[in-house]
Structure 1
Amino acid sequence: MNNSMISAMVSMNGIQQRLDLLADNMANVNTVGYKRKEAAFQDTLNSVMQQSSDFQLAGRATPLGIGMGFGSRMSELAVNFKQGTMKETGNMTDLAIEGNAMFQVLTQDGEVGYTRAGNFNIQINPEDPQTGYLVTNLGHPLLDIDGELIEVPAGSKLHIDGAGNIIAMDGEVEAEVGRIGLVTPLRSDALIQRDSNLFVLPPGEREGVIMATSDLAEEEQATIRQGVLENSNVDLANEMAEMLKVQRAYQLAARALTSSDTMMNLANNLRG
């Protein structure tokens, strides 16, 4: 198999991964709190084919040798945590974060997950119908600053301030029921993305990866807005433009592969 065929094949594999990434971003353009995925590419197996000294002619400015590559591959997948736009909903259990922070939720596996999606609702406690828990749309309970479930009186109206303090109002009776535990990623690249717009910590790591937002200086702390949701930070127009460029690159690589195959067939059919 010649070098051009290998290069085209490797490039097509990398471009296909890029197309899959763009398709994922576009499919989640309306997903609350979704963060855009981005990819980086690098050359594969670069080498230099040395030339004979006969090519070192007078006036030649470039060094001897022919640069040879074997296509490119996706080297890194990253998540862009840029703030999304805000959308007023009027729903008092919808929450949005302004600033660098994430909600803590308890997953079905019993581990702590982190998300920017704030479309919560109240799920009634089956053991006590008079109380309920703030949960995500997939049923993951929201955690407070101590990592405990937040229990609220069923049927009460909730008031949540910028620091995450929750006050339940039942008529004229007010009761403070807890404080939402926001965390701030110190190394967002270390977070591992899971399904359902959730992130988890690497096994055995927490120190230096995240910290409680309340431990930051006051001017650095993120705030919570009630009755608001954070939209996806995906720009559909940019994604469409990028997809067109990637499709053209895929077509070019496919044409190079076809040309290489044609040349190989011609060479195989030559007769002396």
Structure 2
Amino acid sequence: MNNSAISAMVSLNSLQSRLDVIADNIANMDTVGYKRKESSFEDVLTTIQQQHKDFKSADRATPLGYNVGYGIKPASVAANWEQGPLMETGIPTDLAIQGNGLIAVENNGNIAYTREGAFHFVPDPADVSSMLLVNNEGDKVLSRGDNPAPIKVPTDAKVAIDDKGNIWTVLNGTTDRVLSGKIFVVEPERPEGLDQIDGNKFVLANGVTANDVFRISAGAALENAPENVSLLSGYLEKSNVDLTVEMSEMVQVQRAYQLMSRALTSSDTMMNLANNMRG
């Protein structure tokens, strides 16, 4: 197989991956807290093909040899952490994250992190006098501290959440405000150490610890919320996907895909002609 066919075939596979990323972004335009994915590419292999010595000339401005590439491949897919627009809901348990932060939730017995702040209270099946703060998938929101645990509040309490994730409750018939929990908020310093999973959540990548990713590691140091992150009660952060940008990039990728398809077709035609030549 000649170089043009190899380059076109490899590039077609990479462009298909880019189209998949764009399609995923468009599909999640209305997903609360979704972060746009961006993919980067790199050369598969580049070699220098030497020209015949007859091309050598004293008047030649460039050296003999020319680059031969073998297409491109996806290097990485990363989330764009740019702040999304805010949408007012008026619901006290809806939380929009301002800044580069994530909220920790319990996911299948493990800790996951999300920016989707559409939370609500549900009855605690183990304690009828308490309610649990959960997201739309039923994942329990965790509290800060040495041993993160699900956040609980009394069933008959009025709840308010401040900008640092402190949960204040007032029991019916009283006026005293009580601190009932602190939402586990973290600030990723190296977000590349997080893998995105279903449900618009992130988990630590294999072999990566919380100390490697977060500005403040898990444990007692998380008693205080990150200084650069705040929560806005009664709002939700919308997706940061811009449909105009995605459609523009889709057109560019489709044109590149058509070009590579033509290159593959031309290469196939040339090989057929060479196979049918008679000496």
Return the TM-score normalized by structure 2. Answer: 0.91
Match of residue 209 from structure 2: 205
SS at match of 1:207: helix
How many Å separate the matches in 2 of 1:133 and 1:216?
A: 20
How many Å separate the matches in 1 of 2:226 and 2:20?
A: 39
SS at match of 2:51: coil
Match of residue 264 from structure 1: 271
Aligned letter for 2:150?
L
SS at match of 1:9: helix
Match of residue 132 from structure 1: 131
Aligned letter for 2:211?
E
Task: Tell me how far 1:58 sits from its aligned partner.
Answer: 2.8
Match of residue 86 from structure 1: 86
Map Cα deviations across residues 140-182 of structure 1 (whole Å, 9 max, x no partner): 1001112111001225331111111111234443432111121
**Conserved 8 A contact 1:158-1:169:** yes
**Conserved 8 A contact 2:119-2:135:** yes
**Conserved 8 A contact 1:181-1:212:** no
% identical equivalent positions: 48
How many Å separate the matches in 1 of 2:57 and 2:15?
A: 39
**Conserved 8 A contact 2:55-2:64:** yes
Match of residue 25 from structure 2: 25
**Conserved 8 A contact 1:122-1:135:** yes
How many Å separate the matches in 2 of 1:168 and 1:3?
A: 69
Over the aligned positions, Cα root-mean-square deviation in angstroms equals 2.0
Map Cα deviations across residues 208-266 of structure 1 (whole Å, 9 max, x no partner): 31144976999943111101001111111100100000000001100111111111112
Aligned letter for 1:72?
I
How many Å separate the matches in 2 of 1:52 and 1:248?
A: 35
**Conserved 8 A contact 2:144-2:223:** no
Match of residue 223 from structure 1: 230
Q: Between 123-132 and 181-190, report the one with greater CA deviation.
A: 123-132
Aligned letter for 1:226?
S
Task: Tell me how far 1:100 sits from its aligned partner.
Answer: 1.7
The aligned runs of 1:174-193 (5 Å cut-off) are: 174-193=177-196
SS at match of 2:101: coil
Match of residue 251 from structure 2: 244
Match of residue 65 from structure 2: 65
Match of residue 48 from structure 2: 48
Provide closer, same or farther for how the CA distance between residues 216 and 9 of structure 1 changes in structure 2, counting only shifts above 3 A.
Answer: farther
SS at match of 1:24: helix
Match of residue 117 from structure 1: 116
Unaligned runs of 5+ in 1: none
**Conserved 8 A contact 2:11-2:71:** yes
Provide closer, same or farther for how the CA distance between residues 30 and 221 of structure 1 changes in structure 2, counting only shifts above 3 A.
Answer: same
Task: Tell me how far 1:191 sits from its aligned partner.
Answer: 1.1
Map Cα deviations across residues 85-140 of structure 1 (whole Å, 9 max, x no partner): 111011111101111211011101x1111111101111211222331111111111
Provide closer, same or farther for how the CA distance between residues 257 and 155 of structure 1 changes in structure 2, counting only shifts above 3 A.
Answer: farther
How many Å separate the matches in 1 of 2:184 and 2:94?
A: 16
Q: Between 171-180 and 24-33, report the one with greater CA deviation.
A: 171-180
**Conserved 8 A contact 2:144-2:222:** no
How many Å separate the matches in 2 of 1:22 and 1:123?
A: 36
Match of residue 74 from structure 1: 74
